[in-house]
Amino acid sequence: MESAFVHTPLGIAKLEGDEKGLASVSILNEDVGTTTIIPEVLEDAVYQLQEYFSGQREAFSLTLNAEGTDFQKKVWTELLEIPYGKTISYLALSKKLGDAKAIRAVAAANGKNPLWIIVPCHRVIGSDGSLTGYAGGLHRKKWLLNHESPAKQQSLF
């Protein structure tokens, strides 16, 4: 598994993957010694992430290879259907997956998403519109939703 580090407005992102695809993207909560060498298998992912943060990309076109249970992968696949600049509630996501009562399992799978930003778990909010649960921290979730908002001059929250 190869690694690359990208400086973003939200901190340093660590990307991991190999020839089978991108396995994880995570945000580091501390500044670590990072190398500037980007492995060839991660060049496209780094480039697309940089385009996203510069406002030039709304959708990613990458081969993904995240590890998870079948249920988690089903949830993550549904997350990919949430359009840029839009949000969905955990309840609505559960209903789309066929079981409104699975809301806690859906939320847990959302929280285990290993592909920060690429699989847009930040677009899932509480039924009342509140920002709830985000592994990267609610301040980052708020930043991402504002970044994707069509009304850039106004804050969503």
Question: By C-alpha distance, which of 105, 117, 118, 116 is closest to 74?
Answer: 105
3-class SS at 82? coil
**Residue 132 phi, psi dihedral angles, 5° rounding:** -125, 150
Structural tokens at position 106: 């859906």
Residues with a known catalytic role: 121
3-class SS at 26? strand
In angstroms, rounded to a whole number, what is the distance separating the alpha carbons of residues 112 and 105?
Answer: 11
CA 149 to chain centroid: 16
Question: By C-alpha distance, which of 85, 64, 76, 80 is closest to 151?
Answer: 85
